[in-house]
Every structure is written in C-alpha cells, then in structure tokens.
Amino acid sequence: MKYVDEFRDRGHAETLAGAIKRTVTKPWTIMEVCGGQTHAIVRFGLDSLLPERLTLVHGPGCPVCVTSVSLIDQAVCLASLPGVIFCSFGDMLRVPGSRGDLFSVKAAGGDVRIIYSPLDALEIARKNPDREVVCFAVGFETTAPAWAMAVTQAKQLGVTNFSLLIAHVLVPPAMEAILSSPQNRIQGFLAAGHVCTVMGYEEYEAIAQKYRVPIVVTGFEPLDVLEGVAMLVSQLEEGRVEVENQYVRSVNREGNRPARTIVDEVFEPVSRAWRGIGEIPASGLRLKSAYSAYDAEQKFERELSQLTIGIEDPECQSGLVLQGLLKPMDCPAFGVRCTPEQPLGAPMVSSEGACAAYYRYRSHATSKV
Amino acid sequence: MTVHDNKPFEQACPLPISAKNTVQLAHGGGGRLMQELIQDVFVRAFHNPMLAPLHDGATWPMEKGTLAFTTDSYVVHPLFFPGGDIGSLAVNGTINDLAMCGAKPLYLSAGFILEEGLNMGVLQRVVNSMAEAARAAGVPIVTGDTKVVDRGKGDEIFINTSGVGLVPAGVRVLPTLIQPGDAILVSGDLGSHGVAVLSVREGLTFEGDIKSDSAPLHHIVADLLDSGIDIHCLRDLTRGGLASVLNELAVAAKVGMMVDESTIPVNEPVRGACELLGLDPLYVANEGRFVAIVPALQAEAALAVMRRHKAASLAAHIGMVTDRDPSMVVLRTVVGTHRVLDLLSGEQLPRIC
C-alpha cells in the first residue's frame, strides 16, 4: 500500500538500526511524545532493534490517557441525562471515571454514539432537533480544527442543540512541564508528526533552546520512528540542539495555515488538569466567548454543579508512566489488578496508551525466537 | 361487531390482513396469518420434500457414521451489506461451522425472531437470499420456526440456524491433533466482511470495492479431505479474526504458534480502511475464511487444492506450530522483529487520531 509499505521495509529498517547502533556511544534517554509512536514502537518491536544504552520513554501524547477523571465524570453525567445524545470517539467509551465509563451509561439505556468525525455529530444534531447533542471533544492540536469547523458550521446553520464538552489539550506546554520537573531525565524528544502537520514546529524552537534539548518532528511508520531516532541521537552525540523535521512529507515549519486560523477563531488556551500529572497552565483549549453557546459546561452548568468531583484510583501510577518516570511493566498493578478488562487508569484502555500497548504486545515473556 | 352510525355498511370484503406490507404480532400468533406467512414466504422459498409435510420436525433415515451438530444466531445490522445479507450469512455461517468439524453438511433449521412492523418486502428479500444460499450450497432448510416480538423489542430480524452434518469415516479434525511442526494455512485475504459491514453501518466510504467475503466453505474442505490431506484442525475466522482463532487453538492444543506478518493476505482497500480507523485486520471478522493446520509436508498440496476454489484463491502459508512458548502466538513483524499476538479484551475501538 502506497505511503505505508515503503515505510515498513525490513531492509531499510535494519540499515537505520545499524546506523543508530554505530552512532550511539553514550547512554541517552529520549521520549516519543505521541501515543501513535508508542504504538508503532511496540507493535513493530522497534525498541528491540535499538542499542541497550538508548532508553525510550513513552510520553503523554495519548489524548484518551491524559483526560482527567473529573472530565470523564462530567461526560458520564451528561450522557446519562434524559434527552441527551452523547457523541464520542470510540476509544473514550471504556475509560473509567470515578463512577463508571460511557459504555456502562450505554448499557443502562443512555444514548451514547460512536462518531468518526465531529461533522457527523453536527449532522446528528440537525436530524434530532428535539434532542440535545453533546460531544466529547477530545484530542490534541490534530483534532481541534475539525471541532472548530463543526462549531462554526453549527453557528452558521443556526443549530442550537449542539454543544461540546471540551477535553482538548496542547503538546508544547506538556513538554515544558516534563522538562521543568526536577525529576526530568529526558534528553531529547521525538515530536508528534500529526500535531506538527497542523501546528508546524516554530513553537518548538524556543523550547529546544530554553531547555537545551534537541527535538525531531517524527512520523508514525517504523522507518519514520527509526529515522527520527537516528537524527536525534546524531544531535545528542554531536552536542547540537536543533529542531529538525524527519516527517517532511507531511510537516512544514508553518503548519497548516487554514487549520490554525479556524482553531484561533474558535478556541483560546485555558489551564487544564492532565490525568496523573496535574494542572498545567495554558495547556488546554476552551471556546471563545463568541462561541460559548456551544460550551456544554456552560449549557449544563446546573446539572454539572451537582456532581461531586471524583478522584483517580490511588493505585494507578499513570502519572509517572505519562511523564516517562515509570515503565508500564514496572507498575505493581500492571497485569495483576490493572488489565484492559479492568483498567485502573486510562493508559490501559486506549490502543495508544503505553500500558495497553505493553499489555497487548509484551504481557508474556517470550523465549528467544 | 360495531357498526358506526355515520358510516354506511360496506358489503365489500376488507382486504385480507396478509396483504399488509408489514409483519404484525398476529403473524406469530399461531392462527391463519401465521399459516399464510409460513406458506407464502417460507415454504415458497425453501420448498423441499423434507420440509413439505410441515411437521413439528424433519425426519430422515440414519446412515452409519458420526454426526456433527451446530447452532449459531445472526443479529447483524445492517441487514444488507456489500457482498451479502443476514440471510446468506445465516446459511453460510452454520454450513461453515459444520465444515470446520470435517463434516459434510446435510440439513439446516431456520428460526426467525421478527420485530413487529418489519417491512414484508425486507423479510422476503432475506428469506429469498437464504433459499438461494441453501440451494447454491446444496444444503436444504428442512424445519423452522417464527416468532414475532413487540416493536422495539427486537432489531428487525434475528435468525438462528442449526445444522446437522455427517463426518466421513476415518476423518478426525480437532484442535488436540495440532502438533509442533504443522503448517498454518489461511484460506484467503482477511478483514473484508468486518470492514464492509462497518462501512455501511457507519456510513463510511472507502476507496476501492470492499465486499463481505461471506461464502460456504464445505466444498473446499471436502476437496481437501478427498485429496488425502491429513487435516489436523480447521477453524473459520469469524468474530475476533485470525489473531483470536490462533490464540484459541494454541491454548486448546497447548502449542506455540509462529506467524509471519508479511505472508498474511489483506487486500489494499481493507488495509487502507484499517489504517485509517486504527483497526488491526488480524482482529477483524471474516465470514468466508478459515485457517487449516496441516502437516508441513502437505502444506503445498493443500494450498494447491484450496486455490482451485474461488473463495480460497488467495490461500497462503502464514506460519508454523512450534513447541516453544506453549499457548502463545508470536508474530514476526514486517520489519523482522517479534511480538506477541494476543487476544483482545473486547471489540476494537476506532481511535481518535
């Protein structure tokens, strides 16, 4: 398949892995920011091709994983309201809040629907004028333009029974939060290619210089990840600190101007709590006042005000995992009290969650094959 | 009977209720309407000498040998999808379950649970499709049942089919016969059925023509047996796809399995759709594909037999049974690394980005 097979070629993978092995002379710890990259690394066993002195840690780039318990609780509350059609991307449905997940709302008779695009949700609202359609707007900079588009179209069309419960988060503030932590051990980043497709990588240049950390914008196929790692370790070994772009077929420095424009038109930054990490200033998005009629938190303020805020399961160490301070398999609950069937935290749910990826592909030690 | 004062008495007979174009509760009530439904829809479509007496059950003289007996229920939505519908699926699925036991399918039963208000034309299309599938497969539907449930208590049509088959003398096809060293064969490209149904259900359109692979597989199995292939085990790749089936078999036979990702056939449109949605085709449902575990020395001969059939023209040798890592399936990835191919905890969920 074009644009896929050429980036999964075994010969090229071995060549790149060989180049990385020859380049690395010191121990380095690098983080792949995006859950899609974590998934590719584990699905294709890419870490087994890398030298032992190179440590990969998995970053907070899975939107499902970092959505706070209180937001999930709000979603469960709104989805349970009579007359509400609650729309969500599929992998949010199994994430546990403090009182169940969206699947359990569906099982109890709630109208919870999986959507594939924000515009599908708008269509549902148009077809059901007597119902309130509430959407769980989850994601990074990648999905924000589509939600912005849905909101502007709703306004143009005069659709009023449509609102968003917004859990949107931004990547650069999270990278800064990790770098400014006293426990930080990350020496270089593979930045998330899809996020940069929308946003470009200008904003990473200041981060690289401020924290003296090289950053390589990297794609998601096996050869993308290996090439990104090769570029990053070259910088580290040579003592360079630059923002480089491995994912040139998709990303340029400015990003996608029309997409950025519509996001700026509709959303503004807001402080947001990340699951397991805590509050990070200006790390989320909320609707600007011109679009506040589409904000579910305002529309359903009365219903949500009666909600007692839940807390995360204290046994879940996802915060440490999401900051790269703990490998999933080193968590005492991993595979014992925390499994995809009974997850304690979100990283065990999403296919892009680090814990789920390890459980699915690494849960058993295999003999050498 | 009440005669309304403001209405003149009508001498003309009212239209018979059976002419109505929807299923009524009375169609399951045991009275005349039900008899009409049975005669006009079911018997007309399925007619065969064993069904004709319309007795409580079908009877036939027994041959010596081993019987295979299976049942399956079909609740797919939408009822019609590219490459098939709930009717043909209900026939082929049960035939395939019999074939996977090494049996020659003989007879099927059909039980219908219809939702009140179902369009009679839709029912007729489904029943005709079942009849056509049964005729094409040479396996008659010899007994049946119909129930009608209140509107809102069903989902248009649910179908249960059971099937009886005869296992030829000397044939044993069982997971416990799987041995280290055996070859793992798959009968064709994976994932078309699951993606075809998903695309209609969710209103997604993909490039290329993605049709369900729904097909009866018993002729392929019979051909393998007739060709002298010592089949150790067969399993159709329905819900959960190839990955789930290999895990079930590895556990049942207490063996390891080693599968080479680059040899597993998946067609381009299905791969594209799966990449887009974040689904793994190895876990997507099929309705006309099976895995065959055969002695390694017979792998090429078995593939040649399978490829003679249209439904197995892309049959491939994808791996081998090992004595390492019992009960575990290991995948050699396209980039040459190894990882566990595990069971999913539930359905695959389309991802956010």
Q: Percentage of chain B with pLDDT > 70?
A: 92
Contact B321, B206 (CB under 8 A): no
pLDDT of res. A322:
76
**Residues B226/B231/B237/B242 CA torsion (nearest 10 deg):** -140
DSSP-assigned beta bridge partners for residue B235? B291
pLDDT of res. B14:
47
Q: How far is B29 from chain A (nearest CA, A)?
A: 30
Residue A236 three-state SS: helix
Whether B339 and chain A come into contact, CB under 8 Å, resolves to yes
What part of B 96-115 touches A (C-beta under 8 Å)? none
Q: Are residues A299 and A335 in the same domain?
A: no
Top-confidence residue, B346 or A173: A173
Taking CA–CA distances from A118, the nearest residue in chain B reads: B352
Is B340 in contact with A89 (Cβ distance < 8 A)? Answer: no
Superfamily of domain B17-167: PurM-like, N-terminal domain (3.30.1330.10)
Q: Are residues A94 and A165 in the same domain?
A: yes
pLDDT of res. A351:
67
Q: Are residues A161 and A175 in the same domain?
A: no
The predicted model gives B212-240 an average pLDDT of 97
Q: Which of A9, A91, A366 sits opposite B349 (nearest CB)?
A: A91
Q: Are residues A187 and A200 in the same domain?
A: yes
Does the domain made of B175-340 have the CATH classification 3.40.710.10? Answer: no
Per-residue pLDDT of B251-306, as tens digits, reads: 999 999 999 999 999 999 999 999 888 889 999 999 999 999 999 999 999 999 99
Residue B279 three-state SS: coil
ipTM confidence score: 0.79
- A21, A362, A44: which is closest to B337 by C-alpha? A44
Out of A245, A274, A297, a domain closes at A245
User: B interface mutation test: which of A135, A224, A364 has the most B CBs within 10 A?
Assistant: A364
A130: containing domain: 65-170+255-305
Please tell me whether the overall predicted TM-score, pTM, comes out greater than 0.90 for this model.
Answer: no
Q: b vs e for A189-226, b when ≥16 Cβ sit within 10 Å of the residue's Cβ? A: bbbbbbbbbbbbbeebeebbeebebbbbbbbbbbbbbb
Is B352 in contact with A351 (Cβ distance < 8 A)? Answer: no
Cis peptide bond N-terminal to B78, omega within 30: yes
CA B251 to mean position of chain CA atoms: 23
Give A-chain residues touching B278 at CB under 8 angstroms: 91, 351
Q: Are residues A152 and A175 in the same domain?
A: no
pLDDT of res. B10:
46
Kindly report the number of other CB atoms within 10 A of residue A154's CB atom: 25
pLDDT tens series, chain A, 369 aa? 777 888 899 999 999 999 999 999 999 999 999 988 988 998 899 999 999 999 998 888 888 888 999 999 999 999 999 999 999 998 899 888 888 899 999 999 999 999 989 999 999 999 999 999 999 999 999 999 999 999 999 999 999 999 999 999 999 999 999 999 998 999 999 999 999 999 999 999 999 999 999 999 999 999 999 999 999 999 999 999 999 999 999 999 999 999 999 999 999 999 999 987 889 999 999 999 999 999 999 999 999 998 887 787 888 888 888 777 888 899 999 989 998 888 888 788 776 688 888 887 775 444 333
CA geometry: angle B151, B155, B158, nearest 5 deg: 115
Out of A214, A245, A276, a domain closes at A245
- Positive/negative CA dihedral, B168, B131, B234, B288: positive
The predicted model gives B214-243 an average pLDDT of 97
Contacts of A160 (CB under 8 A, 6+ apart): A293
- A65, A71, A102, A101: which is closest to A86 by C-alpha? A102
Q: Can you count the helices (H) and strands (E) in chain A? A: 16, 11
pLDDT of res. B4:
45
Q: Are residues A72 and A144 in the same domain?
A: yes
CATH of the domain at A119: 3.40.50.11740
User: For residue A313, is it within any domain?
Assistant: no
Contacts of A83 (CB under 8 A, 6+ apart): A130, A131, A132
Kindly report the number of other CB atoms within 10 A of residue B318's CB atom: 23
Domain boundaries, chain B: 17-167, 175-340
The predicted model gives B158-172 an average pLDDT of 96
What part of A 33-62 touches B (C-beta under 8 Å)? 36, 42-46, 48-49
Per-residue pLDDT of B33-82, as tens digits, reads: 899 999 999 999 999 999 999 889 999 998 788 999 999 999 999 999 99
User: For residue A105, is it within any domain?
Assistant: yes
pLDDT of res. A308:
83
Q: Which of A14, A45, A93 sits opposite B349 (nearest CB)?
A: A93
pLDDT of res. B18:
47
Question: What is d(CA A20, CA A17) in angstroms, rounded to the nearest whole number?
Answer: 5
Based on the structure, what is the number of domains in chain A?
3
User: For residue A368, is it within any domain?
Assistant: no
Both structure tokens of A322: 């999401």
pLDDT of res. B235:
98
Give B-chain residues touching A366 at CB under 8 angstroms: 324-325, 328, 330, 338, 340
User: For residue A212, is it within any domain?
Assistant: yes
CATH of the domain at A19: 3.40.50.11750
Per-residue pLDDT of B92-140, as tens digits, reads: 999 999 999 999 999 999 999 999 999 999 999 999 999 999 999 999 9
The helix-helix angle for B299-307 and B218-226 (nearest 10°) equals: 140
The predicted model gives B159-176 an average pLDDT of 96
Give A-chain residues touching B334 at CB under 8 angstroms: 8, 10, 44, 222
Contact A64, A353 (CB under 8 A): yes
Question: What is d(CA A18, CA B195) in angstroms, rounded to the nearest whole number?
Answer: 38
